[in-house]
């Protein structure tokens, strides 16, 4: 009989166990007590050792009374606020938009600590149904407000067959050492065209985790964009399942890190049926002692013939102490596929620097121009003019930070 011995818990792990027990999630508490937070020995967390990195956990969040300004202001958008995990009252929804609440978490059961914590601690989630094409942008404004708190939230978004929509989720809040965990489940109906953006611009001293799950139907088109530019410790899990044929997905992402920050984007894409295509482009830029992490895996099932999937990750290092860690993977069980992955990493091109400086441009301005050019593919991936400008603004603020 094999009996697991509980690990020695850190202060953060003890706090999480106590919080899980306080809400009656005894099975989740016992599992955490036995295995603890993931260390470098857990392959999917090899570069993001939460047992070491997570030093403290703030108390569970209380109801928010005061609200900070929206992280991103999108003219004409329909905004829904989730403050400290609670769905707030909203204005009249646009035609075809049905807003409600669902009990508990929306995420699929997975052997992942971030998912398990969200599943155990989320009391209610936003339920959002788009019954047809929606003209205004849907803005889900997730807030972590007040003093430092542990905030869990969820959103389930269902896009009807044939619908067209743009949904942006932002994570922000008060300037405190919050710890957040946001879950999103997006089902894309047959023939739908969807753009989904997740932007973390939470407080610099915060910790934030997020999980995004996509279920993509037949003849659909999905564009996914993730921007990590907020919390000092951040990790986003992206899971995508292609369940209908003749479907395409574009996946973009950006980590920008500075000082001693660590930001991680980990994706897991499964092509489960024939005749689907995907393209993944993730970029990372690091300066100071910052660490940027990208892990990407494309799975092609045995029946998923005629899959075409290509993954690329590119890194730009702006200091000798910065780290950029990339791990792209392919796991292919079908034999009639076109799949590939690539990774590049380097510093600014001195030839281009010389070219710009020889025309009277200062070194600092030349560096900024080249960095903007490197990031342009990500910030311009969204067709909506206001969102694209907002993403560019986030990059501009990061470029000027500590300048």
- In terms of Cα–Cα distance, which of 315, 325, 321, 236 is closest to 281? 315
Strand order in the sheet with 233-242: 97-103, 124-130, 150-159, 179-188, 207-216, 233-242, 262-271, 291-300, 323-332
CB 282 within 8 A of CB 313: yes
- 65 vs 276: which has the higher pLDDT: 276
Which of helix, strand or coil describes residue 366? Answer: helix
pLDDT digits (tens, 9 = 90+) for 235-273: 999 999 999 999 999 999 999 999 999 999 999 999 999
State the pLDDT confidence band at 70, using cuts at 50, 70 and 90.
confident
Q: Give the pLDDT of residue 5.
A: 62
Q: In this structure, are strands 97-103 and 86-87 parallel, antiparallel, or unpaired?
A: unpaired
The pTM for the full model equals 0.95
- 220 vs 4: which has the higher pLDDT: 220
Decide: residue 186, CB within 10 A, 0-12 exposed, 13-18 middle, 19+ buried.
Answer: buried
What's the mean pLDDT when you consider all of the chain?
94
With b for 16 or more beta-carbon neighbours within 10 A and e for fewer, the 280-293 pattern comes to: bbbbbbbbebbbbb
- 161 vs 380: which has the higher pLDDT: 161
CB 386 within 8 A of CB 75: yes
Give the span between the Cα atoms of 346 and 315, in whole angstroms.
6
State the pLDDT confidence band at 403, using cuts at 50, 70 and 90.
very low
pLDDT at 197 over 50: yes
CB neighbours of residue 207 within 10 Å: 27
pLDDT at 3 over 90: no
Q: Give the pLDDT of residue 402.
A: 52
Backbone angles phi, psi at 115, to 5 degrees: -65, -45
pLDDT at 1 over 50: no
- In terms of Cα–Cα distance, which of 196, 224, 92 is closest to 137? 196
pLDDT at 297 over 90: yes
266's tokens: 């980990």
Beta strands in 272-375 (DSSP E): 276-286, 291-300, 308-317, 323-332, 338-346
270's tokens: 């499964």
pLDDT at 303 over 80: yes
Give me the mean pLDDT over the 190-195 stretch. 98
pLDDT at 4 over 70: no
Give the span between the Cα atoms of 21 and 17, in whole angstroms.
6
Q: In which residue are the tokens 């024939």 written?
A: 274
Give the span between the Cα atoms of 158 and 141, in whole angstroms.
18
Give me the mean pLDDT over the 346-356 stretch. 91
Give me the mean pLDDT over the 287-307 stretch. 97
């Amino acid at each position: 009989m094999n009996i697991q011995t509980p690990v020695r818990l850190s202060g953060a792990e003890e706090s999480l166990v106590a919080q899980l027990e306080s809400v009656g999630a005894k099975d989740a508490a016992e599992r955490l007590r036995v295995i603890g937070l993931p260390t470098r020995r857990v392959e999917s967390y090899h570069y993001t050792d939460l047992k070491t990195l997570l030093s403290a956990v703030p108390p569970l969040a209380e109801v928010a009374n005061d609200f900070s300004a929206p992280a991103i202001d999108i003219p004409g958008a329909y905004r829904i606020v989730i403050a400290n995990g609670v769905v707030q009252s909203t204005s009249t929804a646009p035609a075809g938009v049905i807003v409600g609440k669902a009990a508990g978490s929306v995420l699929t059961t997975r052997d992942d600590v971030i998912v398990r914590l969200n599943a155990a601690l989320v009391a209610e989630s936003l339920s959002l149904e788009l019954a047809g094409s929606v003209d205004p942008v849907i803005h889900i404004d997730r807030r972590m407000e007040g003093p430092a708190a542990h905030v869990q939230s969820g959103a389930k978004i269902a896009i009807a067959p044939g619908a067209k929509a743009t949904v942006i989720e932002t994570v922000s809040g008060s300037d405190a050492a919050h710890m957040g965990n946001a879950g999103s489940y997006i089902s894309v109906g047959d023939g739908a065209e969807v753009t989904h953006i997740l932007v973390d611009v939470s407080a610099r001293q915060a910790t934030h985790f997020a999980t995004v799950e996509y279920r993509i139907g037949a003849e659909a088109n999905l564009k996914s964009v993730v921007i990590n530019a907020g919390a000092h410790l951040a990790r986003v899990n992206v899971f995508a399942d292609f369940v209908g044929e003749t479907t395409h997905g574009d996946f973009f992402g950006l980590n920008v890190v500075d000082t001693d920050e660590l930001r991680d984007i980990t994706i897991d894409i499964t092509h489960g049926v024939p005749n689907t295509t995907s393209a993944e482009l993730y970029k990372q830029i690091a300066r100071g002692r910052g660490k940027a992490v990208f892990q990407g895996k494309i799975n092609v099932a045995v029946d998923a013939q005629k899959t075409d999937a290509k993954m690329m990750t590119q890194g730009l290092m702006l200091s000798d102490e910065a780290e950029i860690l990339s791990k792209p993977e392919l796991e292919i069980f079908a034999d009639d596929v076109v799949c590939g992955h690539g990774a590049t990493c380097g510093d600014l091109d001195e030839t281009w620097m010389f070219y710009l400086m020889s025309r009277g441009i200062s070194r600092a301005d030349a560096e900024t121009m080249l960095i903007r050019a490197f990031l342009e593919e990500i910030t311009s991936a969204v067709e909506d003019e206001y969102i694209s400008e907002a993403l560019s603004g986030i990059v501009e603020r990061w470029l000027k930070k500590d300048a």
